[in-house]
Amino acid sequence: MQALNKHLKKALSGGDAGIILSALSLVVIFAVASDSFLTQYNIFNLTRTQSLYIFVALSQAVMLVTGNMNLSVGAIAGLTAVIFGYAIEVLGLPLPLALAAAMTVAMAAGWFNGFVMTKLGVNSFIVTLSTLFIFTGLVYGISEGYSYRGIPKDFVSLGRGNFLGLPYLFYLMVATLAAVWYMFKYTVFGRQLLATGSNQEAAELSGINTHRVIMGANLLSAFFAAMGGLLWVSRLGTAQPAIGQNWLIISFAVAIIGGTALNGGKLTAIGLFGGGLIMVLIKNGLILVQANVYFEQAFLGSIILLTILLNRWREVASKKGKSS
Amino acid sequence: MKRFMKLTGVLATSVLLAGNAFAADVKFAWYASTVHPYFDEVQTGVDKFSEDFGIEVTKRLGQDWTQDNQNENVTAMAAQGFTSFSIFPSDVAGAKGLYEELAEQGITIVDFGQPTQQPTPASFFVGTQLKRAAMVATEELIKSMGGKGNIVNVLEVPGEATRRRSEGVEEVVDSYPDVYIIQTVGNLSTIEDSVEKVENAIAANIGKIDGIIATGYTPTVAIAQLLTEYHQSGGKRIHFIGIDTDEVVMDAIREGHIDGTMAQNPFGHGYIPMVLLKHMADGYTPIKGTHNIDAGVLAVTKDNLDSYQDDIAAMTKTIVEELTTKYLEKK
């Protein structure tokens, strides 16, 4: 029991506890403000959207943790969706092959980002800003703006089905976060990602091949972006070229609200879970309480900022308490 | 569509035989903001014009929806000697500056899709009368609801077009004492945002919504998919009328998950402005007091799913026939 408590305490480090508490506070506030909040339909949709947000956030977080960023996450997602749709509807490929084709293209995109960053030494902001345009151009060049509709029903059921009232995507998200937690906690690669982000020079001096680590981060980022894109296709039932268009802000916002350090070296799975939850709660809550549609962005931004500030205040207060 | 192609061919021949010929230095151009299925359909009208009249039209698409991008591209085209433009203004206020520059160079412009704010150097606007289209859509929705009930009004990004559409919806709802707008959802620019917010709106009003109206393309596609899923999983029937004829939307109508959509006339948005430009290059001038040309809009339901295009084609034919009597004169 003591070991369990110790693990729980460790798992819920100060920062994570603050994020989870913030999320729970929002749950209470909206549950009181609206009697529609705790309905089965709303919980299902909340958790499903949260799950999708987590993949978006992961695609950015694995780059942030190394001290880099990826502005092309949405474009990679859109490209994956379009390649998948094209493979299914135009080429008539079976589902597994279409998925493989889509993932291959996504990983190639990630590899390209990583190659230019590591071998050519270009800053991640500049590389991924350029590839954002390149990949977006490919999306519209291939699809010409049209969406692909012949998505197999089995695949669509992944994005729409449920088990015990919670969406399949929720379980997939939890499993993915568990894998991410394990990777950062117990694998060499995970620790190397954190070390590279904390201090790249020191990591190199300690023998870590940081170029390989950053390449790995790019591949992981592309993987999560592609997963997110495909899961959105599954959710929508069509492969839309517009998938990923609004991912940039969400990918940063959820990752940072979830405690991922902007300058690298820190990422927690529980924090990301909480960050995704906070984001969907705020957006859901604003609709439930019928916030003025024209001021909605202002409300959204203000609540996000307030959540981050409260969490920051709590962290500082907690540190002061420990030092005294 | 084939019937219309034939009809336009006849019309084009008669115009050509009338013996009017414009100066050899007139060059025709068509410009739209960026890649979008709507512009693909509009281009079919432009291509048909070229085919019918034997006139080359250079078509360009921009890189994004910003007015800055449009200004750069269109001024570059003007520098290349294009004299007659059919343009989709990226920003209805911002485009006026561009048009004034073009007009100073003697360039003729016709707006399509959305009109620049008055006063404008554009000779005409050809497109859907947004408020009227929204009103027709709302009437259709209320009819499907049996004349009473609660509606969720779904809007795209704030702007002139959205404001007009919203006015149309509200005006019609006000005329029905037993119909209420219980929530307005807006600021929807992406498919994911549309799905998330409309889902949230359904959750917020679970069991109370009788109808949803969407007057924008992206929300329409999102809601068609959302309601398909909602009804398939046993949710209470929610009536819906959207806009535009994306195949996803047409599938949903066919399968009975949504009631219908408003078909615009993108072919006409492409064809009619080019005919106007050709007539003006031939010496015609706008009749005073004319500017907006309604290319027409039609409610598409399960009943006319396979035949609505013929009706749209007939609308376009009528408009083209009337151009030199209702909208243009030769002094």
By C-alpha distance, the chain A residue nearest B223 is A236
At A100-136, the pLDDT tens digits run: 999 999 999 999 999 999 999 999 999 999 999 999 9
| 3-state secondary structure at position A215 | helix
Half-sphere exposure of B87 toward its Cβ, with a 13 Å CA cutoff? 32
Higher pLDDT, A9 or B144: B144
Does the CB of A202 have a partner CB in chain B at under 8 Å?
no
Does the CB of B36 have a partner CB in chain A at under 8 Å?
yes
CB-based contact B184:B151 (threshold 8 Å): no
Q: How far is A158 from chain B (nearest CA, A)?
A: 13
* pLDDT reported for residue A97: 97
Q: How far is A259 from chain B (nearest CA, A)?
A: 24
* pLDDT reported for residue A15: 64
Query: What does DSSP say about strands B285-286 and B328-329: parallel, antiparallel, or unpaired?
Result: antiparallel
Does the CB of B225 have a partner CB in chain A at under 8 Å?
yes
Q: What is the mean pLDDT of residues A25-30?
A: 90
Question: Which among A240, A283, A297 is the top mutation candidate for probing chain B, defined by the most B β-carbons within 10 Å of its own β-carbon?
Answer: A240
Where does chain A have alpha helices with state H? 2-11, 14-33, 40-64, 73-89, 95-118, 124-143, 153-160, 168-186, 188-198, 200-205, 210-236, 247-257, 269-288, 296-323
By C-alpha distance, the chain A residue nearest B157 is A294
**Position A58 confidence tier, pLDDT thresholds 50, 70, 90:** very high
- Whether the per-residue pLDDT at A228 is higher than 70: the answer is yes
Q: How far is A236 from chain B (nearest CA, A)?
A: 6
Q: What is the mean pLDDT of residues A129-156?
A: 92
Does the CB of B200 have a partner CB in chain A at under 8 Å?
yes
Question: Shortest CB distance from A287 goes to which of B34, B195, B197?
Answer: B197
* pLDDT reported for residue B18: 44
- Per-residue model confidence as pLDDT tens for chain B (331 residues): 555 555 555 555 545 444 444 555 899 999 999 888 889 889 999 999 999 999 999 999 998 889 999 999 999 999 999 999 999 999 988 999 999 999 999 999 999 999 999 899 999 999 998 899 999 999 999 999 999 999 999 998 888 788 889 999 999 999 999 999 999 998 887 888 899 999 999 999 988 999 999 988 889 999 999 999 999 988 899 999 999 888 889 999 999 999 999 999 999 999 999 999 999 999 999 999 999 999 999 999 999 999 998 999 899 999 999 999 999 999 7
CA distance A257 to A272: 8
CB-based contact A125:A63 (threshold 8 Å): no
At A276-306, the pLDDT tens digits run: 999 999 889 888 888 877 777 788 788 778 8
* pLDDT reported for residue A102: 98
ipTM exceeding the 0.85 mark: no
DSSP 8-state class, residue B287: P
| 3-state secondary structure at position B256 | coil
The pTM (predicted TM-score) of the whole model is: 0.83
* pLDDT reported for residue B6: 54
Residues 6+ apart with CB under 8 A from B292: B115, B124, B125, B129
Question: Which among A30, A35, A40, A41 is the top mutation candidate for probing chain B, defined by the most B β-carbons within 10 Å of its own β-carbon?
Answer: A41
Q: How far is B105 from chain A (nearest CA, A)?
A: 33
Give B246's contacts in chain A (Cβ within 8 Å): 147
Does the CB of B40 have a partner CB in chain A at under 8 Å?
yes
Interchain proximity A36–B158, CB inside 8 Å = no
**Which phi-psi region, left, alpha or beta, contains residue B240 (left: φ > 0; alpha: ψ -120 to 50)?**
beta
* pLDDT reported for residue A264: 80
Q: What is the mean pLDDT of residues A80-91?
A: 97
The residue whose two tokens read 């506030």 is A29
Does the CB of B183 have a partner CB in chain A at under 8 Å?
yes
Does the CB of B187 have a partner CB in chain A at under 8 Å?
yes
